Amino acid sequence: MIRKGTTFTRFIIEDLRKLPEATGDFTLLLSTIVTACKEIADDVSRGQLINVLGSAETENIQGETQKKLDVISNDILIRALEWSGHLGGMASEEMEEAYPIPAKFPKGKYLLVFDPLDGSSNTEVNVSIGTIFSILRCPPGIVEPTEDDFLQAGAKQVCAGYVLYGPATNLVLTTGQGVNGFTLDRDIGEFILTHPKLTIPEKTNEFAINMSNQRHWEPAVKRYIDEVVAGQEGPRGRDFNTRWVASMVAEVHRILMRGGIFLYPKDNRENVKEGRLRLLYEANPMSFIIEQAGGAASTGRERILSVKPQRLHQRIPVIIGAREEVERVERYHLTMDKLQSESPQTTIG
């Protein structure tokens, strides 16, 4: 049994010894990712001192203004991983197309997708941000993977994790055998197991959603939020607290630590009609982690990990957290959809 205080290196080696097909490639890949995130953590912590905060005056493929640390973090991950020999290719939220491994480097059997710095709009105000990553298997026989090879349903992920850069630097990881949390000990430069076998409580009194968008929400989301805001006097019969950090890594980490639900639903605005968060870089890895911790992850109408991606930067609605709450939102969507189909001319709200 792996105990608290175990180093990440020992943890991952002992964990993968249980798999007879393990070759060591996966262990080395994870170690390289974690090393790159330590470098990002250092830049984040010293950002105000080394002039890497603020806008880079460029835009990513989604038309969003990039922060200097977005670009720096993306470059750190590419530079650390392209030569390793463990990857067939990479895809990043910050790059328009998949990144092929240069011909001068050996290629491996895995694909990596990542959001190099989630929540980077918060860098100037010292709010927790993070790196999200997901590891997929490269399809058999593929030497030069194309975009289509990355478009795998989230249920096919080999591993998902994130590194949270906050008062402490935390690594949270799943390989499909539960969720474990590590904390960076800066004195020795190693992540230490501090939160083994994380689980999400079934019941919660906390919810996270951007309330400023409520006029744009679908009826099911309005109904759910109206009920929790009504508190003890409402149909739920108890008070709820709202939380909103505007950093998905921070929101998910809070849910893993003490429960809750996080909603970033689609709404009637033109740029959010399909959802706001990216399926490959954010929704899939976080959904894998949440499910492995006993929670649920849904678009509001279906399990996120069952969605087959159609394009590299596809967006999707995200409702994740305590299973009881996520399933309630799903029921409300099904009810509202049924009413709408029976009376298509009726506006529900």
Is residue 115 marked as binding?
Answer: yes
User: Rounded distance, CA 211 to CA 232, Å?
Assistant: 20
Position 152, amino acid? Q
Is residue 234 marked as binding?
Answer: no
Is residue 119 marked as binding?
Answer: yes
User: Rounded distance, CA 69 to CA 71, Å?
Assistant: 5
Is residue 63 marked as binding?
Answer: no
Is residue 117 marked as binding?
Answer: yes
Retrieve residue 286's tokens: 């976080």
- How much helix, strand and coil, in percent to the nearest 5, is found in the chain? 35, 25, 40
Query: C-alpha angle 10/16/21, rounded to 5°?
Result: 150
Is residue 93 marked as binding?
Answer: yes
Is the torsion defined by CA of 228, 231, 236, 238 positive or negative? Answer: positive
Sheet bearing 261-264, strands edge to edge:
241-242, 206-208, 261-264, 318-321, 296-298
The upper half-sphere exposure of residue 200, i.e. CA atoms within 13 Å in the direction of its Cβ, equals: 33
Is residue 77 marked as binding?
Answer: no
Range list of β-strands (E), the chain: 55-59, 65-67, 87-92, 99-100, 110-118, 129-137, 159-165, 169-174, 179-185, 190-195, 206-208, 241-242, 261-264, 277-278, 296-298, 315-316, 318-321
Is residue 31 marked as binding?
Answer: no
Q: Which of 225, 231, 181, 232 is nearest to 207 (CA)?
A: 225
Helix pair angle (68-81, 25-45), 10° resolution: 150
Is residue 53 marked as binding?
Answer: no
How far lies 202's CA from each of 258, 295, 339, in Å?
11, 7, 29
Q: Which residues are annotated as a binding site for Mg(2+)?
A: 93, 115, 117-118, 282
Q: Which residues are annotated as a binding site?
A: 93, 115, 117-121, 210, 282
Q: Which residues are annotated as a binding site for substrate?
A: 118-121, 210
